[in-house]
Structure 1
Amino acid sequence: MNLKNIAFEKEGKIALVTINRPKALNALNTETLAEFDNVITELEKDSEILAVVITGAGKSFVAGADISEMKDMSVIEGREFGILGNKVFRRLENLGKPVIAALNGFTLGGGCELALACDIRIASTKAKFGQPETGLGITPGFGGTQRLARTVGIGAAKELIYTAKIINANEAYRIGLVNSVFEPEVLIDEAKALANTIANNAPVAVKFCKVAINRGIQTDIDTAVAYESEVFGSCFSTEDQKEGMDAFLNKKSLVGNFKNK
């Protein structure tokens, strides 16, 4: 891949994706979103990658969408920009591999929306969060009005969005926006350790769990548990299930040795 605004690294079973526009606080412009779309395609194709960590270069995760690009957009251009961001983030949300956001600094606007499209969010003590769009005369445009409410509840989401206020990592943890908070110097190591822990489990089962959770949360409980039964049954066609249960009964460990089949 020819990437200008994103760094992409593989470390064994995990991938580290870094938004790399530190002078612009990693703001998301059209070019960066297009590159991110290409990165997702690569993540989909690479069967060796079983978990993903996303972070930002410098003191920001992503400070938002690029205001310098947005300020002169027409109605049509604004809508197209929103459609692009939503398409890319929806692809990330549906990626058949778990994605961990390591939120190292400013996680605002489009950055908060990017984090919300990930499966798990861990934060630095220096991270700041918010959806400040109403202070700029716009709404969140990359899924913020939808995923934030689904993550922290309608009341907390409306307060954050309506007020455009910025909160710190401890408050983000209190309302359930992030899973955990770490000191800056250990954040990436903690994210990688979590990614490797996940990657050491049966990959097909992890993928099925992600799909079942994501689908189920959007529907009624009866439909959701019916789908869960389907993916549960499908696991019994995999080598991972046969070997995993055999190893359990024979007091052996398969951690890190599943065949992804």
Structure 2
Amino acid sequence: MGPPLLHLAEDGRATLTLQRPQHHHRLHREDLHALQQHLRALAQEPRARVLVLTASGPVFCSGFHLGELEEAEAGAADPQLFEHAVDALEALPLPTVARLNGSVYGGATDLALACDFRIGVQGMELRMPAARLGLHYYPSGLQRYVSRLGLQAAKRLFLLAQAVRSDELLRIGYLDQQVPAEALDAATDATVQALLAGAPLALQGMKLSLDDTARGPDAAAAARIAERVARCAVSADLQEGLAAWAARRAPRFQGR
């Protein structure tokens, strides 16, 4: 029981594991601070290539600890702490995979949505009960729902506040894959290996540029995208990728 744990493997796979199974991995303020600290560390860690976010048991995460909600809205040091933590996950340059071992509720639905890929077990469900609590969800979470799932799916999930099962989550695009529980590790590993095979600069740049593009036209975003394109165009990784393609061998990317 405690804040999320971070592990970095030799191949560059980082794993963040939620650590409150007895409370369905609800997120306390200390967990959100720890999550932000881990994300800052990963953003500066040159060995890190991919992040997997996961937990254990029948529930992936039950969202923000509602017992701390009044504190969060009563002028705490960071009243938007949950929003800021999820936004930091989305902004992480590394490609991210949510390994959904079970159901997602409340803010956890957005935590997983902030990841680039979501792989969930058959039978899991999603429920966003904000309307039943009298809570107006934070702006960046609404934007993520609409940009990733579309307006009508976002209205259905927020306004009806009904439980939605895994097969429907796959249909509306919330899940990228739905697999039996015993196949979850293999499916996650396959996605991670596909990401590890890519050139780090290109992967990280395109991840951020795709997210910038999804938010709509913006001059500052266009400048950031142009800078990423230019950086990859003169990179050693591009030269290695072209040489490996010509020689019909596996590339050896260095992330520079």
> Is the TM value for this pair above 0.5?
yes
Q: Per the alignment, do residues 44 and 134 of structure 1 end up closer, same or farther by CA in structure 2, a change over 3 Å counting?
A: same
Determine the structure 2 residue equivalent to 1:37.
36
Determine if contact 2:72/2:78 at 8 Å carries over to the other structure: no
CA deviation vs aligned residue, 1:218-254 (integer Å, no higher than 9, x gap): 1239987776554333212211001110121222221
CA distance in 1, matches of 2:173, 2:117: 11
Determine the structure 1 residue equivalent to 2:121.
124
Higher alpha-carbon deviation: 184-193 or 45-54: 184-193
Alignment partner for residue 254 of structure 2, among 248, 256, 259? 259
CA distance in 2, matches of 1:21, 1:237: 45
Structure 2: which amino acid aligns with 1:161? F
CA distance in 2, matches of 1:41, 1:10: 14
Higher alpha-carbon deviation: 124-133 or 184-193: 184-193
CA distance in 2, matches of 1:92, 1:247: 33
CA distance in 1, matches of 2:141, 2:194: 29
Alignment partner for residue 181 of structure 1, among 175, 178, 199? 178
Determine the structure 1 residue equivalent to 2:111.
114
Report matched runs for 1:149-228 at 5 Å.
149-220=146-217, 228=225
Q: Secondary structure at the match of 1:5?
A: strand
CA distance in 2, matches of 1:79, 1:139: 20
Higher alpha-carbon deviation: 200-209 or 142-151: 142-151
Alignment partner for residue 243 of structure 1, among 235, 240, 244? 240
Q: Normalized against structure 2, the TM-score is what? A: 0.91
CA deviation vs aligned residue, 1:107-128 (integer Å, no higher than 9, x gap): 1111101011111111111321
Report matched runs for 1:139-158 at 5 Å.
139-141=136-138, 143-158=140-155
Structure 2: which amino acid aligns with 1:7? L
Q: Secondary structure at the match of 1:126?
A: coil
Alignment partner for residue 88 of structure 1, among 36, 61, 85? 85
CA distance in 2, matches of 1:191, 1:94: 21
CA distance in 2, matches of 1:222, 1:31: 36
Structure 1: which amino acid aligns with 2:48? I
CA distance in 1, matches of 2:96, 2:135: 28
Q: Per the alignment, do residues 103 and 114 of structure 1 end up closer, same or farther by CA in structure 2, a change over 3 Å counting?
A: same
Structure 1: which amino acid aligns with 2:254? K
Shift of 1:199: 1.4
Structure 2: which amino acid aligns with 1:39? H
Shift of 1:77: 4.0
Shift of 1:196: 2.2
CA distance in 1, matches of 2:22, 2:142: 28
CA distance in 2, matches of 1:182, 1:222: 40
Determine if contact 1:217/1:224 at 8 Å carries over to the other structure: no
Determine if contact 1:110/1:142 at 8 Å carries over to the other structure: no
Q: Secondary structure at the match of 2:186?
A: helix
CA distance in 1, matches of 2:220, 2:245: 31
Q: Secondary structure at the match of 2:74?
A: helix
Determine if contact 1:112/1:144 at 8 Å carries over to the other structure: no
CA distance in 1, matches of 2:117, 2:103: 17
The question of 1:59 aligning with 2:58 is answered yes
Shift of 1:47: 1.2
CA distance in 2, matches of 1:74, 1:242: 50
Q: Per the alignment, do residues 140 and 78 of structure 1 end up closer, same or farther by CA in structure 2, a change over 3 Å counting?
A: farther
Q: Per the alignment, do residues 142 and 229 of structure 1 end up closer, same or farther by CA in structure 2, a change over 3 Å counting?
A: closer
- Aligned residue pairs total 255
Higher alpha-carbon deviation: 172-181 or 244-253: 244-253
Shift of 1:25: 0.4
Instruction: Provide structure 2 residue ranges, at least 5 long, that are not aligned to the other structure.
Output: none
Determine if contact 1:89/1:142 at 8 Å carries over to the other structure: no
